[in-house]
Amino acid sequence: MRSIDSLGAQRRRRRRSGRHWRPAQLILAGFAIGVVVGTGLLMLPIARAGQGGTDLLTAFFHAASSICVVGLTTVDTGTYWSGFGQLVILLLVQVGGFGIMAFASLLGVVVTRRLGLRSRLTAAAETKNSGIGGVAGLLIRVAVVGLSIELLCTVLLTVRFLTGYQFSFGKALYHGVFHAVTAFNNAGFALRPDGLDAYVDDPWICLTLAVTVALGSLGFPVLFELARRSRTPGKWSTHTKITVLGSGLLFVIGALFITISEWSNPDSIGGLSPGSRILAGVFHSVSLRTAGFSTVDIGGMHQGTWLGMDVLMFIGGGSAGTSGGIKVTTFAVLLFVIIAEVRGDRAVNAFGRRISSRTVQQAVTVALLSVAAVVVATIVLVEITDFSTDRVLFEVVSAFGTTGLTTGITTQLPSAGLLLLTGLMFLGRLGPVTLVSALALRDSERRFDYPEGRPLIG
């Protein structure tokens, strides 16, 4: 009979051999490989519109920004990168928004018509699927729904570019495809040096992009349930109710806040017509769900507006979608915890359902780790740059929330600052819990509980 020590040594050898990688570790490795591949492609001379290739830091930052669907840039996407470079960015955005391991699993389904257990586990973890039996079908539905929404957005944008801006058909189609993909994946890359400023008073383009961004930010589980039960909201799951109602409430609050706060500011929306000011407020409220598009100069907004936008970017969108942030459900669960404590309830309840203690622990963990990451990064950037704290905080939250909005300091950050933002983008796309669990050393659960302690709170 083998001794316990030999069995333990064998397990450790198997873990080191890589055969027991957890799904979180595979997801982390997949995104890391995607960044490396994207960096290599963007460094090729063919990827740059000018002479020579791109330096390592610029290529690395833009590859990470693309695959993490952020949209922060240090060079102009439309003029610095060639058609090949823009195509690389677009593909990275598409793969990153879908989920790089989920995308690889989908390719496995298409090529081999089957999916192994390891691939099922990894894809289930990345798409937040509770089971592994129907992962293959889920991946196909996700791809079909995502591509269908992008196609519809492409058609609407192409028609508008053709009829309203006299683009050639090829140029109109290219701009339509590019902005549709970056909108649904909440990436926010644009092909004009001024972003989308030229379309600030164009409801066709702004509302088309806003709806596409909103659909992408809800998350695929919510989209699927809305398609099945659109007429019976009473039968929606707790997750869908929280996501839809929470997203709607945050959208209304954001639109009112930005419009009222910036109404008389000539450096942002103050110089527009009343209708265009409202349109800009609505558009940016949606964009703050981590899309990163802007139709006015963010750097010209009031400091108080930046702080409110920080909050919205930090919350982000829905789970298992293309948005970032701590997610609407996380924020809502914390709110329900506060309500339960204030009311003296023994359990945390929402919409006639009890929220499990495990879910509450996860929400608290995500929120506190996210706050810690933002605070530490802000302190570091304030120390190594001469920018004000409000501008630095906005940049940090935008990177962590995978939003991509900027007050204009990204291009002026030192190399250390860009590397720090890259780490935040990576953390924001994967999620603090996923990243921590991927790096954790413990493989097994503790089989015992300590005696209860009662520290004083408050």
- Is the confidence at residue 46, as pLDDT, over 50? yes
pTM, 2 dp: 0.87
Long-range (24+ apart) CB contacts under 8 A made by 419-424 are 419/57, 420/377, 420/380, 420/381, 421/61, 421/72, 421/377, 421/395, 421/396, 422/60, 422/61, 422/64, 422/65, 424/373, 424/377, 424/396, 424/399, 424/400
Lowest mean pLDDT of 118-132, 260-274, 322-336, 418-432, name the range.
118-132
| Each residue's pLDDT tens digit, 431-443 | 776 665 655 555 5
Mean of the per-residue pLDDT values for the chain? 85
Q: What is the mean pLDDT of residues 369-379?
A: 95
Closest CA to 314 of 299, 328, 296: 328
Q: What is the mean pLDDT of residues 93-117?
A: 59
Report the C-alpha gap between 334 and 256 in whole angstroms.
Answer: 24
Q: What is the mean pLDDT of residues 30-57?
A: 92
Looking at per-residue pLDDT, the higher value among 172 and 125 belongs to 172
- Residue 56, H or E segment: helix 56-67
- Is the confidence at residue 297, as pLDDT, over 90? yes
Residue 117: per-residue pLDDT? 46
Looking at per-residue pLDDT, the higher value among 93 and 9 belongs to 93
- Is the confidence at residue 107, as pLDDT, over 50? no
Report the C-alpha gap between 240 and 244 in whole angstroms.
Answer: 6
Q: How confident is residue 231, by pLDDT bands cut at 50, 70 and 90?
A: confident
> Which residue bears the tokens 């009662």?
454
Residue 334: per-residue pLDDT? 95
Residue 133: per-residue pLDDT? 46
Give, in order, the Cα–Cα distances in Å from 312 to each of 48, 176, 290, 307, 401. Answer: 35, 27, 9, 9, 9
Q: What is the mean pLDDT of residues 167-174?
A: 96
| Each residue's pLDDT tens digit, 109-154 | 444 445 454 544 454 554 555 454 456 666 777 888 889 999 999 9
Pairing between β-strand 353-355 and β-strand 348-350 as defined by DSSP bridges = antiparallel
Residue 102: per-residue pLDDT? 62
Q: How confident is residue 324, by pLDDT bands cut at 50, 70 and 90?
A: confident
Q: How confident is residue 18, by pLDDT bands cut at 50, 70 and 90?
A: very low
Q: How confident is residue 100, by pLDDT bands cut at 50, 70 and 90?
A: low
Q: What is the mean pLDDT of residues 301-330?
A: 91
- Is the confidence at residue 422, as pLDDT, over 70? yes
Q: What is the mean pLDDT of residues 175-200?
A: 93
Residue 323: per-residue pLDDT? 81
Report the C-alpha gap between 71 and 89 in whole angstroms.
Answer: 10
> Is residue 287 within 8 Å of residue 213, measured between CB atoms?
yes
Residue 126: per-residue pLDDT? 46
- Is the confidence at residue 361, as pLDDT, over 80? yes
Lowest mean pLDDT of 2-11, 245-254, 370-379, name the range.
2-11
Q: Is the Cα torsion angle 184, 186, 188, 191 positive or negative in sign?
A: negative
| Each residue's pLDDT tens digit, 199-214 | 999 999 999 999 999 9
Report the C-alpha gap between 93 and 90 in whole angstroms.
Answer: 5
Residue 2: per-residue pLDDT? 45
Q: Is the Cα torsion angle 135, 350, 145, 63 positive or negative in sign?
A: negative
Report the C-alpha gap between 295 and 278 in whole angstroms.
Answer: 12
Percentage of the chain lying above the pLDDT 90 cut: 59
